[in-house]
């Protein structure tokens, strides 16, 4: 996917989600003298992703100069059939005209996606990919009170496990043990999961200690 970033408009906030970039992506940053710097983490994410990367600096300051650059580049990409989807990252509502133009002219052949960040662009593109699913999962909202109650319960369980497994060979595997305990819908499920995760001998010993913990609560 191509990401065309109106950097003078969105600055670093538009780069949110740069950690999701893939080698198959291509990032083009359009910038001018008012925005010559970017946070290193985003530049490192671009480099580490292995994606295509180029920059386009405004040659001479003119009103909406970068907007015209971006619109021209989209036409160049679509005309050369270099991509089918182009994500324009900008807060400028004028790009709606660019989106509407290509929707009217090409139907589903070419599509301009308007977004305020890399992350939002991936989500809005409707990808059925691991990164898109991860973004959708992370963006789900949770009830704060319910989350806090579950968090407190998790801390209590972790303390209980510390006491139960202190001084044993399993003291450094508390996270896995807690996952086994909290994922188990019944004692049988916990028992089978302990055997699967830790092997028969260790799994039996861990399950025995978990049963002891439960009986003491």
Residues 19 and 77 in one domain: yes
Residues 172 and 198 in one domain: yes
Question: CATH no. for residue 22?
Answer: 3.40.50
| Nearest to 61, CA basis, from 73, 71, 69 | 69
pTM (predicted TM-score): 0.79
> Residues 178, 157: contact at Cβ < 8 Å?
yes
Average pLDDT over every residue of 154-171: 90
User: For position 214, what pLDDT does the model report?
Assistant: 65
Give 111-162 pLDDT, tens digit per residue.
Answer: 999 999 999 999 999 889 999 999 999 999 999 999 999 999 999 989 989 9
Q: What percent of the chain has pLDDT above 90?
A: 69
Domain boundary among 110, 138, 166: 138
Domain boundary among 112, 138, 164: 138
Number of domains in the chain: 2
> Residues 117, 17: contact at Cβ < 8 Å?
yes
Residues 117 and 161 in one domain: no
Residues 22 and 45 in one domain: yes
Enumerate residues 6+ apart whose C-beta is below 8 A from 55: 28, 29, 30, 31
Structural domain span for residue 56: 2-138
**Within its chain, how far is the Cα of 49 from the centroid?**
13
Give 29-52 pLDDT, tens digit per residue.
Answer: 999 998 999 999 999 999 999 999
User: For position 215, what pLDDT does the model report?
Assistant: 57
Backbone φ, ψ for residue 110 (5° rounding): -130, 145
């Amino acid at each position: 996917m191509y990401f065309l970033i109106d950097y003078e408009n969105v600055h670093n906030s538009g780069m949110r989600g740069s950690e999701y970039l893939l080698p198959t992506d291509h990032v083009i940053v359009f910038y001018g003298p008012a925005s010559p710097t970017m946070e290193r983490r985003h530049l490192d994410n671009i480099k580490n992703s292995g994606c295509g990367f180029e920059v386009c600096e405004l040659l001479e300051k003119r009103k909406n100069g970068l907007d015209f650059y971006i619109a021209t580049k989209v036409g160049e990409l679509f005309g050369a059939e270099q991509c089918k989807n182009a994500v324009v990252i900008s807060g400028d509502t004028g790009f709606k005209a660019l989106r509407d133009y290509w929707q009217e002219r090409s139907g589903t052949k070419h599509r301009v996606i308007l977004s305020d960040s890399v992350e939002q662009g991936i989500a809005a593109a409707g990808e059925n990919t691991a990164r898109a699913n991860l973004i959708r999962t992370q963006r789900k909202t949770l009830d704060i009170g319910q989350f806090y109650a579950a968090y407190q319960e998790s801390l209590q369980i972790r303390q209980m496990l510390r006491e139960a497994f202190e001084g044993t060979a399993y003291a450094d595997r508390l996270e896995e043990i807690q996952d086994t305990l909290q994922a188990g819908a019944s004692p049988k499920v916990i028992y089978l999961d302990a055997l699967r995760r830790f092997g028969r001998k260790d799994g039996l010993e861990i399950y025995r200690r978990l049963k002891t913990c439960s009986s003491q609560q």
